[in-house]
C-alpha cells in the first residue's frame, strides 16, 4: 500500500517499520503475525463489499486505518477519505488507486455502510450521530461515546457479544454507534481477560508506560526533534507537552481530576468495568508518559477470587487470541515496546506469582502492545469485520 510522504515519515519513526521483522523467539514465546490469512477476512476491493469512510484520514491513526484495511484485505466496494477543510483536495494513493481527500460534511455519509472515526472527541460528537442518522455504523476511536450505556464498548477478542445486535444497514436499515476503548484499556484487557475468565479478577493495579504515539503524530515528531536537540546540546522545543520529553518521563498529560486521578487513569477504571460487565471489580491505575516512540507497556497486578498458579496462567495466555507470550527467565528476555511495534499481537511476560498474596490468589504480568495498531486502528477494523 502506498500512502502520503507524511504518513511514511510518521510510520518510519518506529525502528521496526519493516513488516518482515517478527517477534523474537524465546523459551516461552508463542509469536504470531495476526496478518495471517487464517485469522482475517481476505477479500479486498469487491462489488458486494460495504462502502467505507475513514474520518481523520491524515492523522496517525487514520493512516494506520488504511494500512490495516490493506493488510487484512478488508472487503469494500468503495472508500471515502475524509478530513478537515485544510486537507481537502489533497491526493492520496491507497492500494494503487488515487483518491482525493474530501472535507468532512454531513452529506459525506450518504451511502456509507461503515464509518471509521479517529478525528477527536468533538468531531465524533458532531458527526457521529449525523452518520448514524444516515444509516452508517460508526466505529469511533475517541472517548466521546465510550461510557454511554447504550453504546457497545468492544474489544473483539474480549466481548464481541456486546455488539451482536448491530447489523449492517443493508440488512437492518439502521445505523449504530460502536466505541473503541482507550488504547491502555485494550492492551491491558487483552492479557487480563483470559485470566479473569478462569479465576475472576477482584482487584487490578495497573501502571502504564505510554509512548508518544498515544498523543498523535505531532507528539512523535516532537520526541524525535527533542532527542536531536538534546544530543546537540540545544534547549528542547516543547509544544505538545509542557516539559522536556526526550530522556525524561512524567505523569500522563491528561487532566487531573478532583480525586487525584487523571482522565487516562479513570478511563482504565471505568472502561474495564463496562467491558467486563462487572461494576464491583476494583481497578486502580497510574499512567506515565515515557520517551518511547510507539507502543505502550503496562505492569499489571491481579488479585483473583479463585487460585491461579503461574504455570496455568502461562498456558491460558499461550492459548489466548491476539496474545504472544515472551517469558524467558533464563535469558532475562521479556516484552518490550520494540518487540510489538507494528505488530498485531499484544505481548505478555514476567508472569509470576504475587508473593504478597497467599494461596495463589495473585499474579504479576508485564504487557506491551502497539498503541496505534491494536490499541486503535486494528481493534476498530476487527470490530468492522464482525459486522460482515
Catalytic residues: 183, 296
Angle at 163 between CA 162 and CA 169, to 5 degrees: 165
To the nearest 10°, the Cα dihedral for 195, 196, 201, 207?
60
Is there a contact between 134 and 110 (Cβ–Cβ < 8 Å)?
yes
Other beta carbons within 10 Å of 387? 17
362 secondary structure, DSSP code? E
181 secondary structure, DSSP code? P
CA-based diameter of the chain, in Å?
Answer: 63
- The CA distance from 213 to 14, in Å, is 10
For 179, phi and psi rounded to 5 degrees? -100, 135
Closest by CA to 324, choosing from 27, 23, 71, is 23
Distances (CA, A) of 197 to 254, 337, 382: 31, 26, 21
374 secondary structure, DSSP code? I
Closest by CA to 53, choosing from 18, 16, 73, 80, is 80
For 177, phi and psi rounded to 5 degrees? -115, 135
- The CA distance from 117 to 94, in Å, is 18
- The CA distance from 372 to 213, in Å, is 7
Which uninterrupted H or E stretch holds 67? helix 60-71
Instruction: Specify the 3-state DSSP secondary structure of 53.
Output: strand
Number of residues that this document lists for the chain: 388
Angle at 387 between CA 347 and CA 140, to 5 degrees: 65
Amino acid at each position: 500500500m502506498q500512502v502520503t510522504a507524511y504518513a511514511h515519515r510518521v510510520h518510519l519513526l518506529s525502528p521496526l517499520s519493516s513488516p518482515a521483522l517478527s517477534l523474537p523467539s524465546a523459551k516461552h514465546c508463542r509469536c504470531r503475525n495476526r496478518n495471517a490469512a487464517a485469522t482475517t477476512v481476505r477479500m479486498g476491493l469487491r462489488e458486494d463489499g460495504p462502502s467505507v469512510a475513514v474520518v481523520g484520514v491524515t492523522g496517525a491513526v487514520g493512516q494506520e486505518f488504511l494500512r490495516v484495511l490493506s493488510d487484512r484485505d478488508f472487503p469494500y466496494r468503495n472508500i471515502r477519505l475524509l478530513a478537515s477543510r485544510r486537507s481537502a483536495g489533497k491526493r492520496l494513493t491507497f492500494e494503487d488507486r488515487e483518491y482525493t481527500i474530501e472535507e468532512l460534511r454531513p452529506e459525506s455519509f450518504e451511502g456509507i455502510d461503515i464509518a471509521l472515526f479517529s478525528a477527536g472527541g468533538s468531531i465524533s460528537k458532531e458527526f457521529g450521530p449525523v452518520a448514524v442518522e444516515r444509516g452508517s455504523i460508526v466505529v469511533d476511536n475517541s472517548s466521546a461515546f465510550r461510557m454511554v450505556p447504550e453504546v457497545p464498548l468492544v474489544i473483539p477478542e474480549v466481548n464481541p457479544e456486546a455488539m451482536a445486535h448491530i447489523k449492517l444497514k443493508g440488512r437492518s436499515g439502521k445505523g449504530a454507534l460502536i466505541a473503541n476503548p482507550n488504547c491502555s484499556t485494550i492492551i491491558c484487557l487483552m492479557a487480563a481477560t483470559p485470566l479473569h475468565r478462569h479465576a475472576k479478577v477482584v482487584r487490578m493495579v495497573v501502571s502504564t508506560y505510554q509512548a508518544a504515539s498515544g498523543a498523535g503524530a505531532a507528539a512523535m515528531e516532537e520526541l524525535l526533534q527533542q532527542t536531536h536537540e538534546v544530543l546537540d546540546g540545544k534547549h528542547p522545543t516543547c509544544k505538545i507537552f509542557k516539559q522536556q520529553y526526550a530522556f525524561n518521563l512524567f505523569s500522563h498529560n491528561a487532566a487531573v481530576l478532583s480525586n487525584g486521578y487523571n482522565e487516562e487513569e479513570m478511563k482504565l477504571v471505568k472502561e474495564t468495568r463496562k467491558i467486563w460487565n462487572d461494576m464491583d471489580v476494583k481497578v486502580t491505575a497510574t499512567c506515565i508518559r515515557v520517551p518511547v516512540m510507539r507502543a505502550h507497556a503496562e505492569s499489571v497486578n491481579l488479585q483473583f477470587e479463585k487460585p491461579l498458579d503461574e504455570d496455568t496462567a502461562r498456558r491460558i495466555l499461550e492459548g489466548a487470541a491476539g496474545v504472544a507470550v515472551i517469558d524467558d527467565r533464563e535469558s532475562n528476555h521479556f516484552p518490550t515496546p520494540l518487540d510489538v511495534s507494528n505488530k498485531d499481537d499484544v505481548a505478555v511476560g514476567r508472569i509470576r506469582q504475587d508473593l504478597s498474596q497467599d494461596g495463589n490468589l495473585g499474579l504479576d504480568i508485564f504487557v506491551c502492545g502497539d498503541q496505534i495498531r491494536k490499541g486503535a486502528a486494528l481493534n476498530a477494523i476487527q470490530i468492522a469485520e464482525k459486522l460482515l
